[in-house]
Amino acid sequence: MSTTAQDPFSLEGKRVLVTGASSGIGRQIAISCAQAGAQLAITGRSRERLEATAAELPGQGHTQIVADLTQSADMERVVAEAGVLNGVAHAAGISRLVPFRMLNQTHLDDIFASNTYAPMLLTKGLLAKKRIAPSGSVLWIASIASHVGPVASATYAASKAALLGAMRSLGREISKQGIRVNCIAPGYVRTPLLDGLQGSGGNMGDLLELAPLGLGEPEDVANATVFYLSDASRWITRTYFVLDGGLTIPMDIYA
């Protein structure tokens, strides 16, 4: 038996679907999973950026599916074309800074459609079509926003918090199939999404000073994702992992 086959942290022989793979955390998750030996099905809304991600993937047999997961037809196509999967990493999502007093139905619908409904409905579709193999792993990317409630982020925080509850319930329902489901709750990571928040008036300076290890990189989240998709995490389900450089610890202490 090869060393790779004995390595519980390897993704060799596994097929993994990564959403939001055209940018930021999702892009790096796809690259890191391929580096760990996985065959990838990647999806995102931008064909050009998705192709750029695909060009970075080592290995063979990867597929690209251009799709907007807020559209039911696109979601059904992803389910049909993804193949039989050993892992799913749902990293697609959006964020907009909107003070609570300015909330409206359109804003709520947009954020929840991308951040909550899409991962839940996509996972439902994959399970219904038996696209997730026994002993597979589902991972939703949540956020520490659900814990700390940043200013002008009520909808975003709520949309990510909803994933934690849904994950706990789903984990019980699919445990008989040996499929596990977990969330990662990243802190502030150097991505285009964070740059956009900064540019729209989000002042992250004070928050980042609270993080002993500072700003994270996409690779930090991707490495944790590889662990949750690998057999090394085979006894972990219905939980979430906070990955924030120590940011939320002082918030919990001094709240």
The model's pLDDT over 172-184, given as tens digits with 9 standing for 90+, comes to 999 999 999 999 9
User: Would you state the pLDDT for residue 1?
Assistant: 41
What is the pLDDT of the chain when averaged over all its residues? Answer: 92
User: Would you state the pLDDT for residue 148?
Assistant: 85
User: Would you state the pLDDT for residue 196?
Assistant: 55
C-alpha–C-alpha distance, residues 53 and 30, integer Å: 8
Contact 247, 188 (CB under 8 A): yes
Which residues are catalytic, by number? 156
Q: What is the mean pLDDT of the segment spanning 125-146?
A: 97
User: In Å, how far are 21, 34, 216 from 220, measured between CA atoms?
Assistant: 16, 16, 7
User: Would you state the pLDDT for residue 3?
Assistant: 45
The residue type of 150 is P
User: Would you state the pLDDT for residue 194?
Assistant: 58
Q: Does the predicted model carry a pTM greater than 0.85?
A: yes
- Cβ neighbours for 91, distance < 8 A, ≥ 6 positions apart: 18, 19, 20, 21, 24, 25, 26, 29, 141
Q: What is the pLDDT of residues 210-238, one digit of tens each?
A: 788 988 999 999 999 999 999 999 999 99
- Whether residue 203 is predicted with pLDDT greater than 60 in this model: the reply is no
Q: What is the mean pLDDT of the segment spanning 123-144?
A: 98
C-alpha–C-alpha distance, residues 206 and 214, integer Å: 11
Give 93 or 198, the one with higher predicted confidence: 93
Q: Band of the pLDDT at 190, cuts 50, 70, 90?
A: confident
Crossing angle, helix 47-55 and helix 24-35, to 10 degrees?
A: 30
User: Would you state the pLDDT for residue 167?
Assistant: 98
- Strands 180-186 and 240-243, by their bridges, are parallel
**Per-residue tokens: 60:** 């063979």
* Domains of the chain in sequence order: 9-254 (3.40.50.720)
User: In Å, how far are 27, 97, 187, 196 from 213, measured between CA atoms?
Assistant: 23, 25, 11, 22
Q: Band of the pLDDT at 208, cuts 50, 70, 90?
A: low
